Structure 1
Amino acid sequence: MTKILLSTGNIVSGGPSIIRKPGTFRSNLELTNSLRSNFLAAQEDYAAEVAQSHGGAANGNGSTTNGTDANAETGGGRPTASAWTASEDGILYVPAVHWDAHGLQEEPAHYDITAKLFFLPGAVASQRPRFAGEALAHVLRELRAPAVDLLIVSFPGMSFKGDCEWEADRINAGQGNDEDEMATWPAIEELHRAGLAKKLGLAEFGSEKLARFLDKVQVRPAVNQINLKNCCNVPPPLAQLAKEQGIDLLVHSDCTDILPKGTLRDLLGQGLGGAGLLADSETGTGGLRGDLTPQWVVKYTAVVRDRGVIENKGYFAGAELADE
């Protein structure tokens, strides 16, 4: 069993190599494009180091100006995985993370830091407390911050879809899994009590779901995010409940299943645009083998409070590769 941690780095400073499209940009596209960009950058950095060690300059195709093949270890045009990934405490970091080079430019008190944790379909629900702790720990280490100001939790199977806001709210009442959600929340509350998350939030909870949830929790969410892409207005029952309970309603454009299993395999596979980390699906050669399951994704943003400018934004994603 191999634990894998994928990271995008700070995509605000990532430059034009990160693909962006006009209009509303859904987080799943931002995540996959940013991961590809970071994988490629790490591999190119390795090629440049090899080129320099051989006394030449990389010419863009993996070769140096003196004819040395910078990717000779793989025989397939890519650096070996060990050259641009790293293993630490039983986790395979893809790519390797140079923690000492990261962090906020000013004191953490000058920022509003938000983290949104997505629990993914297919991952074992009983493991969510561990996922939450791991995800938040990586964000805090990345930003060198003692806590996030807001931690929003997104459970799988939730949405706001319908011909009108009333129908969307009605459909939402039967979505998700109340039992799993309630079993997970105490671990989120512990992160709050430990001072790691100053406020907590939910995503995609309609009026009935939210009412049931509030009746059973000890630390109530301060925020409820909803996606109105397929529903133009906030359902009146939800607006009324949020007002009564002092919960802020925020709009987002995130995708609940932000990193599907097939997408992750494509990102790490041998195909076009893949990182070459996994073995070829047909031949079984060229990399790691096993059943790959994405477990969680966390998106984080650090906004300079006085200027309203996003200084740092990125993603971490956790996955597990089961041995064959």
Structure 2
Amino acid sequence: MTKLILSTGNIVSGGPSIIRKPGAFRSNLELTNSLRSNFLAAQEDYAAELAQGHHGANGNGSANGVDLGRPPAAVWTAHKDGALYVPALERDIHGLQEEPAQYDITAKLFFLPGARVAQRPQHAKEAVDLVLAELRAPAVDLLIVSFPGMSFEGDCEWEADKQNAAQGNGEDELATWPAIEELHRAGLAKRLGLAEFGSEKLSRFLQSVQVRPAVNQINLKNCCNVPPPLAKLAKEQGIDLLVHSDCTDILPKGTLRDLLGPGLGGAGLLAGPETDADGLQGDLTPQWVVKYTAVVRDRGVIENKGYFAGAELVDE
């Protein structure tokens, strides 16, 4: 079994970006495109270094007639602490430009379908630790948790709220929450939040947890208004309602295999269909994704934004 940690790096280019932009970019497309771009950039950087080395040695940009356009995976990835980092992380070029207290840092953790519920505490701690190390910050201001199988869809807001009541897995969600509460108690997440909880699910959830969510984030892509029962409950319980445009299944299994595979647009990390092909082989399962943003408080701009994703490759 091989654990993989994928990263986009800071996807804010050309300086900080204003928070409100016309036309929201869906997170699944943003994640996929950003991962692909970061993989390619890492390969190009290391390929250039290899080409320079071979140029100095034999006067050309190849070694033994082999094109150095795509460097071996061992060159641009790194094994550390039992995981394969794709690409290798360069800690010395990351971090916030100002003191962490000058930012509002939000992390949204997506637990993906197919991953084992028993592993969620490990995944949550791993994801938050990666974000904090990337930003060089002591804590996130808000940690939002997204569980699989949840949506907020319907012909109207009342129908969406009704359908939501039967979605997800209440037992698994409650079994996971203590690990999220522990991150709060450890000072790593100042406030906690949920995603896609309608009035009935949220009411049941609040009755069974110790650290209550301060935020509930919902996607109103098919509904123009917040369901009145949810708005009433949130007001009574002092919970902020936020709107988002994220996908619950932000990184499907097939998408991840295409990203890492040998095909066009792939990173070449996984072996092809040939039995003697180079590359990793096995059953690849995405387990979690964390999306993070660091907003400069006094200027209202996003300085740092990116994603990490965790996956498991099991030998067949």
TM-score range, shorter chain: over 0.9
Q: Is the 8 A contact 1:47 1:70 kept in 2?
A: no
Q: Output one character per residue of 1:230-273: Cα deviation in whole Å (capped at 9) or x when no partner.
A: 11110000000000000000000000000000000000000000
Query: Counterpart of 2:183?
Result: 191
What residue identity is the alignment partner of 1:4? L
TM-score, normalization by structure 1: 0.92
Of residues 50, 62, 72, the one that matches 1:69 is 62
Deviation of 1:52 after TM superposition, in Å, equals 2.1
Deviation of 1:53 after TM superposition, in Å, equals 1.9
* 2:37 is the alignment partner of 1:2: no
Q: In 2, distance between residues paired with 1:168 and 1:70?
A: 60
* 2:295 is the alignment partner of 1:294: no
Deviation of 1:22 after TM superposition, in Å, equals 6.6
Query: Counterpart of 1:321?
Result: 313
Identity across the alignment (%): 82
Query: Counterpart of 1:242?
Result: 234
Q: Output one character per residue of 1:46-97: Cα deviation in whole Å (capped at 9) or x when no partner.
A: 11112222347xxxxxxxx954227977x69521001100000111000000
5+ residue gaps, structure 1, are 16-20, 57-64
Query: Counterpart of 1:53?
Result: 53
Q: In 2, distance between residues paired with 1:184 and 1:196?
A: 17
Q: Is the 8 A contact 2:61 2:68 kept in 1?
A: no
Of residues 155, 159, 166, the one that matches 1:163 is 155
Of residues 135, 145, 154, the one that matches 2:127 is 135
* 2:44 is the alignment partner of 1:41: no
5+ residue gaps, structure 2, are 16-20
Q: In 2, distance between residues paired with 1:297 and 1:255?
A: 11
Change in 2 beyond 3 A, CA 1:248/1:91? same
Q: In 2, distance between residues paired with 1:70 and 1:270?
A: 21
What residue identity is the alignment partner of 1:229? K
Q: Is the 8 A contact 2:47 2:69 kept in 1?
A: no
What residue identity is the alignment partner of 1:69? S
What residue identity is the alignment partner of 1:53? G
* 2:95 is the alignment partner of 1:96: no
Which residues in structure 2 correspond to 1:273-312 (within 5 Å)? Answer: 273-283=265-275, 285-312=277-304
Q: Is the 8 A contact 1:2 1:320 kept in 2?
A: yes
Aligned-residue CA RMSD (Å): 2.0
Q: Output one character per residue of 1:133-182: Cα deviation in whole Å (capped at 9) or x when no partner.
A: 00000000000000000000000000011100000000000000000000
Q: Is the 8 A contact 1:71 1:78 kept in 2?
A: no
After the TM superposition, which segments of 4 or more aligned residues of structure 1 sit over 3 Å from their partners? 70-73
Query: Counterpart of 1:111?
Result: 103
SS of residue paired to 2:12:
helix
What residue identity is the alignment partner of 1:155? F
Q: In 1, distance between residues paired with 2:68 and 2:262?
A: 10
Deviation of 1:119 after TM superposition, in Å, equals 0.1
What residue identity is the alignment partner of 1:177? N
Q: In 2, distance between residues paired with 1:68 and 1:22?
A: 44
Q: In 2, distance between residues paired with 1:11 and 1:318?
A: 18
